Amino acid sequence: MLNSITPNPDFRIRHATGEDAALVVDYMKKLGTYQKMADKITATAPDIKRLLDESLGEAIFGIYKGQVIGFLYFCQKSSAFTGRSGLYVDGFLVDTDVRHLGFGKLMWAYLSKLALERGCLFLEWGCLDWNTPAIAFYRGLGAYSVDDMTIFRFTPDALKANALTADTASLREIP
């Protein structure tokens, strides 16, 4: 378990392990509630444990005076457009009662440093259009929004249906 000391002596950052899966799910549920989409959070502790254990996802926790007060969930990604690697943040939340105390900025600074140490050249994440406090926070960190793009995603059922449309006999490798 990796811990990191911050400029605030009462605040530290800790990397999650598979044993923290339930805590990650708890924070995702808090985030879903804040984003008015709690019904969209379907991850379970075993799901997150597998992602963490297989290094398919990672999380850090912000700990203030011994209590977890925030989290960031992220994973590695790359871009064929730029030929660069980066980190994609899928979840970020600081508890309401300790917002505006600088802990979110410390967590993003830590993640930025981690990305650079790993040779990454960008951080990327999404933010709901109505979430103006978060947008202002991110812009205050120096981030910009990519406004000319729409994200598409297959659901598990659509993914399976699309896969079935392929003529698998014609999708074999050619030597």
Residue 138 falls in the annotated catalytic set = yes
Whole-number Å distance between alpha carbons of 47 and 148: 33
Q: Which of 88, 110, 138, 144 is catalytic?
A: 138
For the chain, what is the domain count?
A: 1
- Separation of CA 33 from chain center: 16
- CATH of residue 35: 3.40.630.30
Q: Establish if 130 belongs to a structural domain.
A: yes
Q: Establish if 170 belongs to a structural domain.
A: no
Structure pTM? Answer: 0.89
Q: Establish if 126 belongs to a structural domain.
A: yes
Tens-digit pLDDT profile for the chain (175 aa)? 466 777 888 999 999 999 999 999 999 999 999 999 999 999 999 999 999 999 999 999 999 999 999 999 999 999 999 999 999 999 999 999 999 999 999 999 999 999 999 999 999 999 999 999 999 999 999 999 998 888 888 989 998 888 888 766 555 555 6
Query: Residue 62 belongs to what domain range?
Result: 3-147
Q: Establish if 139 belongs to a structural domain.
A: yes
Whole-number Å distance between alpha carbons of 9 and 120: 28
